[in-house]
Chains A and B, each alone.
Chain A
Amino acid sequence: MNVAVAKTGNGRAVSDLFASAEGRLPGSPSVIAVRREAFETYERLGLPHRRIEEWKYTDLRALVGEVLPLAASPDAAALKRAADAIKAHAIAGARKLVLVDGVFVADLSDVKALASEAGLRTLREALEKDAGLLEAAATDAVIALNAALATDGVVLSIADGAQLSAPIQIIHIATASSASAFSRSQIAVGNGARATIIESFVAAGAKAYQVNDAVIVSVGDNADVAHIRLLDDAPDAVNVTSQFVTVGANTKLNFFNMTTGAAVSRLQGFITLAGEGSDLSINGVNLLQKTEHGDTTLVVDHAVPNCVSREVFRAVIDDRAHSVFQGRIIVRPDAQKTDGKMMTRALLLSDEAEADNKPELEIFADDVSCGHGATAGALDDSLLFYLKARGLPEKQAQALLIQAFVGEAIEQIADDGLREHVIGIAERWLERRQ
């Protein structure tokens, strides 16, 4: 009965959405058929709600309600605003790939500089051939919706043995208010390659917009990859991102996410360790205020023996904000000698702040070392008093302790310039609460 209600509630609005978007969606008729099928999956499921276990703490029906119409292709004025936003958010020395309202803009991107080091196509171009990139686990409604409506994205391939001389920064810029952007990208890193990939989500004057992004990452053997995601969307925006990551053997993958924006955000990562001897490190920071809702949901699948995974998650929650961390570690029967651990700590800055932590271990092998831990608490009064007794006003004392709290996760970023950039974003968040 609930399903029927959902269909009439959300189904019709989306039907109109798909019909109106269809003419703008890239892909051959066969691709459009795949999209239609994905869209029907979405229609059948509707927006996720609290009775679906994976979405228990992030009820999109209650928090978001409806999917907004697809944003128009950016016009000259939008591109001008986007160019200004790039100045504020570009990381010095990085090669930029810019998506404006879900559409790749070559003129704003460093296509030429990148050409000698990595292969680049757009999703639009990739879909001319086949629908392969749209066919990722469409059992989840938001992923299905992304497959149905993804307008563009970057398809990056970093060749075997390539050592990127500069980081690549994919910048998602929202310029259209009260509209949705759907993007889907692929990042393929070859054997023995070394790369730093950054994804930034920012607004250029847009309000109350929605982002639905999907990223398919594959990393080969003996590679060394740093993947940094910085969600700094407008305070009234919605951002739902799904990542599918496959890691080869003897590879080092360092993933870092920091959320400092969006009214509602969810990052769901599905990471499979598919080759032995790899080392996965995931660090997350949520900085939430007002009534913001930030959800990080990770599934780390140890499919083979002898891999290490570490998840360190820090949440700083002010006002009536709500932070969610769900971490599941799966250890398959063959995955002996797995070492998988996750630790999450929440710092509650107000009595009404809320943190939900849900660790899950699904262990099918018998010779493993797995564990999880979670803490939640306020700032330590004795530390605050010490700092105040040395002359720091209350908010400044708090800011110093908050920076120290998240610092442990941020310290994992090896590149000095990049780490400073991330610290800068955190500092601006702290200034907003002064």
Chain B
Amino acid sequence: MALLEVKDLKVRVEEREILHGLTLTVNEGEVHAIMGPNGSGKSTLSHVIAGKPGYEVTDGQILFKGEDLLEMDPNERAAKGVFLAFQYPVEIPGVATMTFLRTALNAQRKARGESEYSTPDFLRKVREVSKSLNIPQDMLKRGVNVGFSGGEKKRNEVLQMALFEPSLCILDEMDSGLDIDALRIAADGVNALRSPKRAMVVITHYQRLLNYIVPDVVHVMSKGRVVKSGGKELALELEASGYAQFEDAA
């Protein structure tokens, strides 16, 4: 079943069109990789799906579980099951990680008409998940991402993904700023979350990440469109020949 349907999407930022009619369908249980050179519109796509302000959708639509995503506020999208793992997770001094996690989780549950987690249940769940991701408890006591290394910030994103149990995860350049060990830990966390009901869109510039998170489908983006789609072998092909061939195609 189609979880995410992006249809002929056109997006502008400050009068400049970035996406020129992008179409993409992601089914439940699938992992899609979106690759492309800098400036091809990969991050714009992730931001528009999550609802970041500053982007003007001039044409096309985004359906999520058949509903019009563009009509929803970012928090409503999150409650429906859309999760964006940020390329650069922000630091929020003064907001304790645990407070943040609990407030966010309960806000999503409330929006879905579910009961809020009790403190013991919540703590048990966080402990369980953080242990599997190798996140020390004292990291959770600090302000959100404050003083975290690049790897810790990405692990914190994966922790949230595991806690919130979204049905669509968009990983925006998860590999940026990570050394190989940090990348492996984060990727292991992501792989553990793969399930027949959950889809993932992995946005990356390099093929390297896809050695760890192996996609079902690879799309190549160039100049605001998907110019080629294929199996995982397409990523290897790109690694060998580069993006130049697609720049002309677009």
Q: Which of A's residues lie within 8 Å of B, judged by CB?
A: 380-383, 385-394, 396-397, 400-401, 403-405, 407-408
Q: Which residues of B contact A386 (CB under 8 A)?
A: 86, 89-90, 92
**CB-nearest residue of chain A to B112:** A391
Cross-chain contact of B74 among A380, A389, A407 (Cβ < 8 A): A389
**From residue B175, how far is it (CB to closest CB) to chain A in Å?**
20
Task: Establish whether residues A389 and B94, one from each chain, have CB atoms under 8 Å apart when the complex forms.
Answer: no
Residues of chain A within 8 A of B84, CB atoms compared: 389
Q: Which of B33-83 contact A (CB under 8 A)?
A: 50-53, 73-75, 77-79
List residues of chain A with CB within 8 A of the CB of B77: 389
B77: min CB distance to chain A, Å: 8
A-B contact pairs, 7 of them (CB 8 A): A381-B53, A388-B51, A393-B73, A403-B95, A404-B95, A407-B94, A408-B94
CB distance from A400 to the nearest CB of B (A): 6
Kindly state whether residue B167 has any CB partner on chain A within 8 Å. Answer: no
Q: A389-B78, A392-B75 are in contact. Are A404 and B107 (CB under 8 A)?
A: no
Task: Assess whether A391 is in contact with B108, with CB atoms less than 8 Å apart.
Answer: yes
Q: Are A391 and B94 touching (Cβ within 8 A)? A: no
Q: Is B93 part of the contact surface with A, judged by Cβ < 8 Å?
A: yes
Contact partners of B160 in chain A: CB under 8 A: 390
Max chain B CB contacts within 10 Å: which of A387, A388, A390? Answer: A390
CB distance from A181 to the nearest CB of B (A): 36
With a CB–CB cut-off of 8 A, which chain A residues contact B132? none
Query: Is B78 a contact of A393 with CB atoms below 8 Å?
Result: no
Q: Least Cβ distance of A412 to chain B in Å?
A: 13
Q: Are B90 and A394 in contact (CB under 8 A)?
A: no
Give chain B nearest CB distance to A382 CB in angstroms: 5
Query: With a CB–CB cut-off of 8 A, which chain A residues contact B93?
Result: 404
Q: Which B residues have a C-beta under 8 Å from some C-beta of A?
A: 50-53, 73-75, 77-79, 84, 86, 89-90, 92-95, 99-100, 103-105, 107-108, 111, 143, 160, 164
State whether A385 and B52 are in contact (beta carbons under 8 Å apart), knowing that A404-B93, A404-B94, A407-B94 are contacts in the complex.
Answer: yes
Report chain A residues within 8 Å CB of B103.
392, 396, 400
Give, as a whole number of angstroms, the nearest-CB distance from B161 to chain A. Answer: 11
Q: Which residue of B lies closest to A390 (CB)?
A: B104
Report the minimal beta-carbon distance from A385 to chain B, rounded to whole angstroms.
Answer: 6
Q: Which B residues touch A388, using CB under 8 A?
A: 51, 73-75, 78
The residue on A at minimum CB distance from B52 is: A385
A391/B90 in contact, CB under 8 A = no
- Cα–Cα distance between A401 and B143 once the two chains are bound (Å): 12
Chain A contacts for B92, CB-based, 8 A: 383, 386-387, 401, 404
* Contacting residues, chain A, for B86 (C-beta < 8 A): 386, 389
Q: Which residue of B lies closest to A393 (CB)?
A: B75
**A-side contacts of B89, CB under 8 Å:** 386
Q: How far is the CA of A400 from the CA of B99 in the complex (A)?
A: 9
Q: State the CA gap A392–B78 with chains docked (Å).
A: 9
Beyond the given pairs A385-B52, A386-B90, A390-B164, 15 more chain A to chain B contacts, judged by CB atoms under 8 angstroms and listed by A's residue number, are A385-B74, A386-B86, A386-B92, A388-B73, A388-B75, A388-B78, A390-B78, A390-B100, A390-B104, A391-B105, A391-B108, A392-B107, A396-B103, A397-B75, A407-B94
Complex alpha-carbon distance, A318 and B77, angstroms: 28
Question: Complex: how many Å from CA A389 to CA B77?
Answer: 8
B134 to chain A, nearest CB (A): 22
Most A Cβ at <10 Å: residue of B74, B84, B86, B100:
B74
A197-B90 Cα distance, complex, nearest whole Å: 39
Q: A390-B164, A391-B111, A392-B103 are in contact. Are A382 and B90 (CB under 8 A)?
A: yes
Quick check: B78 and A391 within 8 Å, CB to CB? yes
Assess A391 versus B79: contact at CB under 8 Å? Given A386-B90, A400-B103.
yes
What's the least CB distance linking A420 to chain B, in Å? 14
Which residues of A lie under 8 Å from residue B52 when comparing CB positions? 385, 389
Whether the Cβ atoms of B104 and A387 lie closer than 8 Å is: yes
Tell me if A389 and B51 are in contact (CB < 8 A): yes
Closest to B91 in A: A383
Interface centre among B92, B108, B160 (most CB of A within 10 A): B92
Q: Which 4 A-B pairs have the closest CB atoms?
A: A404-B94, A391-B108, A391-B78, A388-B74
Contact B100 A400 (CB under 8 A): yes
**Chain B, residue nearest A388 (CB):** B74
Q: Which residues of A contact B99 (CB under 8 A)?
A: 400
Whether the Cβ atoms of B78 and A394 lie closer than 8 Å is: no
Given that A383-B90, A386-B89, A401-B92 are contacting pairs, would A392 and B104 also be in contact in the complex, using a CB cutoff of 8 Å? yes
A381 to B92, CA, bound (A): 12
By beta carbon, the residue of chain A nearest B105 is A391
Residues of B within 8 A of A394 (CB): 73, 75
B-chain residues with CB within 8 Å of residue A387 when the two chains form the complex: 92, 100, 104
B75, A391: Cβ atoms closer than 8 Å:
yes
**Nearest-neighbor residue (CB-CB) of A380 within chain B:** B90
Contact A385 B107 (CB under 8 A): no
Q: A391 and B95 in contact (CB under 8 A), knowing A383-B90, A396-B103?
A: no
- Chain B residues with CB under 8 A of A392: 75, 103-104, 107
**Interchain CA distance A390-B52 in the complex, whole Å:** 12
Closest to B101 in A: A390
Residue contact B95 to A396, C-beta cutoff 8 Å: no
CB distance from A158 to the nearest CB of B (A): 34
Q: Which of A390, A393, A396, A403 contacts B94 (CB 8 A)?
A: A403
Instruction: Across the interface, name the chain A residue whose C-beta is closest to B109.
Output: A391
Task: Report which of A383, A385, A391, A397 forms a contact with B164, defined as CB distance below 8 A.
Answer: A391
Whether the pair B100, A396 counts as a contact (CB closer than 8 A) is: no
Query: A383-B92, A386-B89 known; A391 and B107 CB under 8 Å?
Result: yes
